[in-house]
């Protein structure tokens, strides 16, 4: 032991460290109370990956409740409209193993169509629509706003006269997809020049 | 010659002499025209005629839909026989009676009148992208424009439409340039021409001496540049002529420049001076399978099949028809397709002329593509990422700065169709963006609905409570029967204040967005504001409910 050892030094060091601990602890505690996030940010992130069809095929009333359920540990493979792409994105973000889709994948993008001549104006479909995409009034015929419809199917079952069809969605001309043919025109010009 | 250079570039065989020998001719009047509703950038036009209507040449048949869109006019006189989602078909009567607009003098007419005329005439950029001209002419409302560039480089092999336009209409093209320079406030006009068009250059030079004497609105300079593909690319030409670089994701207007194709300028002048809507354009008809190659005035909507038959095509030899140039063009899958406002060239090629591509080989990482890329991208990296569908990496490597010129595919020793990969990747990413925006929109509507349902429920409860209170005060014997638990008033007040703050925040966000971009609609932000308002109403209803309940409890 050197003669520079003193109890005062030890005590002051302990005192300073304790003081620092208490100060920063209090600061952190206050900060966490003051800047508390309103909701779990992970739920937001999960919700952003879901397709927002609000169809309820996962067993929850909408995409956000399902996002919350996933955050609580529910399986990530319950979203048929999202399909494999959503499962992979979720698995990637949450670090879970991707699992095959529970249920049947949606074959194509659809939109609800009401055969207006047969509609009796019961408003049942309006109440079922999760995104307010059906307009109409009691005893007046209803119709679907095509651009707002997410193709969730929820209006089909409540209809008492079965006048709602799910039809493939029309693609606007601007959303063309390139034709990939065997002929490769861009190349063909160059060869032989 | 220009002192500035853009990076990369290639020297493909030009093959322009096949179509630039003959003078400009007029193609015979078509018997039927098929007018696509979407010949331009932006939303498709909306038909405004009915089947059976008689139309004259120049009658408006489809009106523009929204800001970025363009009118479509009948290109022959006759009867509308069919209207589908994408086209209007007109059966001609062979008389070609015209419906023109009153002529205007662009020097004296009001600016708004001229813009209106460009809009009414369905004018779009004839160089290929087809952007509505009337919007481009108004760009100086947001950007200061000092220079108007006349893009007469025409760097693609085969195409000579701009060359012939300049030879025949040099004066009109320059007058059109003055017109658009006046509209966009440019004080200087630069004509950029590649040195492989001596006749056009001669015509322009002869004019320049005349123009300089007449004190034009904007000074005109002619710049002759070296022939190198793709010097006709907007960004490349601006770099070459002005040594200015268009920023990534930006427009030439950001650096004070506007580019126009000579054909567009001619059409703009004809629309104003002669009142002619855009119903015809100069098309280069070339390729080894054509017997009379050359440039023709062709009515928009003429079917490619009929057009080729009129100028003579060797069906035995014909292998494929390419719309546009050999570098950036696309082969037609059906000859029934019509000539549109943006069709500048049709190549009827034989098999020897444009033989099918050899099988693709693996990339050997030679780096040839990188050295020819005029946009200074890394085509090889993009190739890997495009094949792996790694969209994040593609965007990080500036895929959207690719001008799809095809120089990389041209030099690739492994015959990899690089540009096709980029094109489909771009489209895939665009689809994804649309899907994401749609999902976001649906989410906001869903949240609004949820908030509305909660508000309705809360209001119902508050009403019930109020009724109950009335009944109780009427019959005083009801003391002590109060069973409803008094909600915590304090936490409800906090909830109400939070809801108020959320409404204010949503209002602020919407106001800021509206100030930034007043042209756009902010549906999603409006929905969010409505949701916040619903939440506030629900909180207020709950608070009122709780207050009524607590007063009731205290009263007896």
Closest CA to B374 of B413, B410, B339, B342: B410
CA B71 to chain centroid:
14
d(CA A131, CA B439): 11
Which residues touch B532 (CB under 8 Å, ≥6 apart)?
Answer: B451, B499, B502, B503, B505, B506
d(CA A120, CA A136): 11
Q: Closest to B442 (Cβ–Cβ): which among A54, A178, A181?
A: A54
Q: pLDDT at residue B90 above 50? A: yes
Range B70-75 average pLDDT: 95
pLDDT score, position B555: 61
Q: Is A132 in Cβ contact with B320 (below 8 Å)?
A: no
d(CA B371, CA B302): 41
Is there a single domain that holds both residue B393 and residue B469?
Answer: no
pLDDT score, position B480: 45
Q: pLDDT at residue A146 above 50? A: yes
Is there a single domain that holds both residue B412 and residue B506?
Answer: no
d(CA B192, CA B226): 10
**Residue B259 banded pLDDT, cuts 50, 70, 90:** very high
Among residues of chain A, what percentage have pLDDT more than 70? 84
H-helix segments, B197-297: 198-213, 234-242, 262-269
pLDDT score, position B1: 45
Range A36-57 average pLDDT: 83
Q: Closest to B354 (Cβ–Cβ): which among A150, A179, A189?
A: A189
d(CA B498, CA B496): 5
Task: Specify if B387 maps to a domain.
Answer: yes
Among residues of chain B, what percentage have pLDDT more than 90? 58
Encoded tokens for B167: 């030879």
Does the annotation place B184 within a ligand binding site? no
Q: pLDDT at residue B3 above 70? A: no
Q: pLDDT at residue B52 above 70? A: yes
**Residue A189 banded pLDDT, cuts 50, 70, 90:** very low
CA A30 to chain centroid:
33
Q: How far is it between the farthest Cα atoms of chain A? A: 103
Name every chain A residue with its beta carbon within 8 A of the beta carbon of B286.
none
Q: What is the pLDDT of residues B418-468, one digit of tens each?
A: 998 999 999 889 988 988 888 889 989 998 998 999 999 988 988 888 888
Is there a single domain that holds both residue B508 and residue B438?
Answer: yes
pLDDT score, position B223: 93
* Helix orientation angle between B161-184 and B262-269, rounded to the nearest 10 degrees: 60
Is there a single domain that holds both residue B386 and residue B453?
Answer: no
A143-144 and B60-63 beta bridge pairing: unpaired
ipTM over 0.95: no
d(CA B202, CA B371): 34
Q: pLDDT at residue B257 above 80? A: yes
Is there a single domain that holds both residue B205 and residue B76?
Answer: yes
pLDDT score, position B483: 47
**Residue B471 banded pLDDT, cuts 50, 70, 90:** confident
Among residues of chain B, what percentage have pLDDT more than 70? 96
Q: What is the pLDDT of residues B151-188, one digit of tens each?
A: 999 999 999 999 999 999 999 999 999 999 999 999 99
Is there a single domain that holds both residue B60 and residue B194?
Answer: yes
Q: Which domains does chain A show, CATH number per domain?
A: 41-94 (1.10.15.40), 108-170 (3.30.70.20)
Cβ–Cβ contact A174 with B under 8 A: yes
pLDDT score, position B487: 57
Name every chain A residue with its beta carbon within 8 A of the beta carbon of B330.
185
Range B273-288 average pLDDT: 94
Give the domain extent around B242.
25-299
Residue scoring higher pLDDT (B513 or A21): A21
* Average pLDDT of chain B to the nearest whole number: 89
Q: Closest to B417 (Cβ–Cβ): which among A150, A176, A186?
A: A186
Q: What is the pLDDT of residues B355-381, one digit of tens each?
A: 888 899 999 999 999 999 999 999 999
**Residue A25 banded pLDDT, cuts 50, 70, 90:** very high
d(CA A57, CA B444): 19
Name every chain A residue with its beta carbon within 8 A of the beta carbon of B38.
173-174
Name every chain B residue with its beta carbon within 8 A of the beta carbon of A186.
327-328, 406, 409, 417, 419-420
Neighbour-count burial of B54, counting CB atoms closer than 10 A to its CB (0-12 exposed, 13-18 middle, 19+ buried): middle
Is there a single domain that holds both residue B233 and residue B376?
Answer: no
* DSSP assignment letter at B24: P
* Residues B343/B307, Cβ–Cβ less than 8 Å: no
Could you give the 3-state DSSP secondary structure of residue B309?
helix
Could you give the 3-state DSSP secondary structure of residue B455?
helix
The total domain count for chain B is 3
Task: Specify if B355 maps to a domain.
Answer: no
Range B8-22 average pLDDT: 91
Which residues touch A87 (CB under 8 Å, ≥6 apart)?
Answer: A76, A77, A79, A98, A99, A101
d(CA B214, CA B212): 6
Is there a single domain that holds both residue B387 and residue B448?
Answer: no
Q: What is the pLDDT of residues B126-148, one digit of tens each?
A: 988 889 999 999 888 888 999 99
d(CA B19, CA B325): 13
Among residues of chain A, what percentage have pLDDT more than 90? 31
Cβ–Cβ contact A37 with B under 8 A: no
**Residue A80 banded pLDDT, cuts 50, 70, 90:** confident
d(CA B205, CA B210): 9
Is there a single domain that holds both residue B509 and residue B540?
Answer: yes
**Region for A153 from its dihedrals, namely left if φ exceeds 0, alpha if ψ lies in -120 to 50, beta otherwise:** left
Could you give the 3-state DSSP secondary structure of residue B384?
helix
- Give strand pairing partners of B202: none
Q: pLDDT at residue A174 above 70? A: no
* Residues B148/B7, Cβ–Cβ less than 8 Å: no
Give the nearest chain A residue to B15 (CA atoms): A193
Q: Closest to A178 (Cβ–Cβ): which among B353, B424, B442?
A: B424
d(CA A132, CA A128): 9
* Residues A70/A46, Cβ–Cβ less than 8 Å: yes
* DSSP assignment letter at B331: E
Encoded tokens for B209: 């001496």
pLDDT score, position B294: 93
* Residues A50/A63, Cβ–Cβ less than 8 Å: yes
* Residues B184/B145, Cβ–Cβ less than 8 Å: yes
Task: Specify if B17 maps to a domain.
Answer: no
Backbone phi and psi for residue B398, each to the nearest 5 degrees, phi listed first: 60, 45
Residue scoring higher pLDDT (B492 or B296): B296
Locate tokens 């002005």: which residue?
Answer: B242
Is there a single domain that holds both residue B409 and residue B439?
Answer: no
- We report the CATH number of the domain holding residue B30 as 3.40.50.11540
Name every chain B residue with its beta carbon within 8 A of the beta carbon of A176.
427
**What pTM did the predictor assign?**
0.81
Query: What Rg value do the Cα atoms of chain B yield, rounded?
Result: 31
pLDDT score, position B485: 53
Is there a single domain that holds both residue B110 and residue B201?
Answer: yes
* Residues B413/B394, Cβ–Cβ less than 8 Å: no
**Residue B553 banded pLDDT, cuts 50, 70, 90:** low
Range B306-329 average pLDDT: 89
pLDDT score, position B284: 95
Q: pLDDT at residue A191 above 70? A: no
CA–CA min distance A21, chain B (Å): 33
Range A89-113 average pLDDT: 84
């Amino acid at each position: 032991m050197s003669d520079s050892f003193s109890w005062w030094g030890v005590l002051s060091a302990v005192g300073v460290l304790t003081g620092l601990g208490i100060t920063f602890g209090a600061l952190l505690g206050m900060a966490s109370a003051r800047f508390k996030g309103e909701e779990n940010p992970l739920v937001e992130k999960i919700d952003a990956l879901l397709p927002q069809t609000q169809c309820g095929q996962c067993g929850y009333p909408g995409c956000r409740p399902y996002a919350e359920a996933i955050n609580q540990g529910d399986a990530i493979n319950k979203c048929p409209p999202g399909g494999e792409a959503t499962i992979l994105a979720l698995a990637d973000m949450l670090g879970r193993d991707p699992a095959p889709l529970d249920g049947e994948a949606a074959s194509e993008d659809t939109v609800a169509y009401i055969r207006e001549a047969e509609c009796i104006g019961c408003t049942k479909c309006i109440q079922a629509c999760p995104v307010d995409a059906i307009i109409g009034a009691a005893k007046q015929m209803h119709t679907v706003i095509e651009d707002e419809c997410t193709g969730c199917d929820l209006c089909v079952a409540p209809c008492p006269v079965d006048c709602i069809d799910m039809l493939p969605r029309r693609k606007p001309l601007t959303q063309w997809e390139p034709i990939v043919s065997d002929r490769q025109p861009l190349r063909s010009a160059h060869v032989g020049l | 010659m220009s002192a500035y250079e853009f990076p990369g570039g290639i020297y493909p065989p030009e093959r322009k002499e096949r179509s630039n020998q003959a003078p400009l001719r007029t193609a015979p009047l078509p018997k039927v025209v098929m007018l696509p509703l979407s010949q331009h950038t932006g939303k498709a036009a909306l038909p405004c005629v009915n089947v059976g209507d008689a139309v004259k040449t120049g009658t408006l048949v489809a009106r523009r839909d929204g800001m970025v869109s363009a009118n479509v006019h009948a290109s022959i006189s006759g009867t509308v026989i069919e209207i589908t989602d994408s086209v209007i078909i007109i059966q001609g009567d062979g008389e070609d009676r015209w419906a023109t607009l009153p002529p205007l003098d662009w020097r004296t007419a009001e600016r708004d009148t001229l813009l209106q005329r460009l809009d009414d005439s369905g004018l779009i950029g004839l160089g290929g992208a087809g952007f509505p001209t009337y919007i481009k002419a108004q760009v100086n409302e947001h950007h200061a424009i000092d220079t108007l560039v006349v893009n007469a480089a025409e760097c693609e092999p085969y195409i000579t439409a701009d060359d012939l336009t300049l030879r025949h209409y040099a004066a009109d093209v320059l007058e059109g340039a003055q017109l658009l320079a006046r509209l966009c406030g440019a004080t200087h006009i630069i004509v950029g021409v590649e040195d492989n068009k001596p006749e056009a250059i001669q015509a322009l030079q002869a004019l320049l001496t005349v123009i300089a004497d007449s004190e034009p609105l904007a000074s005109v300079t002619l710049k002759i540049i070296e022939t190198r593909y793709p010097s006709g690319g907007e960004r490349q030409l601006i770099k070459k002529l002005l040594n200015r670089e268009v920023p990534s994701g930006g427009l030439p207007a950001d650096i004070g420049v506007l580019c126009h194709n000579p054909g567009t300028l001619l059409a703009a002048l004809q629309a104003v001076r002669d009142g002619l809507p855009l119903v015809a354009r100069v098309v280069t008809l070339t390729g080894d399978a054509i017997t009379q190659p050359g440039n023709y005035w062709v009515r928009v909507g003429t079917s490619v099949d009929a057009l080729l038959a009129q100028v003579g095509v060797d069906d035995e030899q014909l292998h494929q028809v390419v719309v546009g140039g050999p570098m950036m063009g696309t082969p037609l899958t059906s000859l029934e397709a019509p000539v549109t406002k943006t069709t500048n060239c049709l190549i009827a090629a034989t098999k020897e002329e444009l033989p099918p591509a050899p099988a693709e080989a693996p990339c050997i990482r030679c780096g040839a593509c990188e050295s020819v890329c005029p946009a200074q991208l890394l085509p090889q990296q993009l190739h890997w990422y495009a094949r792996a569908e790694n969209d994040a990496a593609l965007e990080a490597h500036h895929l959207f700065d690719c001008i799809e010129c095809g120089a990389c595919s041209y030099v690739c020793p492994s015959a990899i169709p690089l540009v096709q990969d980029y094109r489909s990747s771009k489209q895939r990413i665009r689809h994804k963006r649309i899907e994401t925006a749609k999902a976001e929109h649906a989410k906001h509507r869903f949240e609004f609905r949820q908030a509305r349902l909660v508000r309705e429920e809360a209001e119902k409860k508050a009403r019930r409570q109020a009724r109950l209170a009335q009944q109780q005060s009427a019959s005083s014997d009801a003391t002590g029967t109060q069973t409803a638990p008094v909600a915590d008033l304090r936490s409800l007040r906090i909830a109400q204040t939070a809801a108020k703050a959320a409404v204010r925040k949503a209002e602020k966000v919407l106001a800021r967005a509206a100030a930034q971009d007043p042209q756009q609609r902010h549906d999603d932000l409006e929905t969010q504001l409505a949701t916040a308002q619903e939440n506030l109403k629900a909180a207020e209803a709950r608070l009122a409910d709780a207050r009524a309940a607590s007063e009731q409890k205290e009263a007896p």
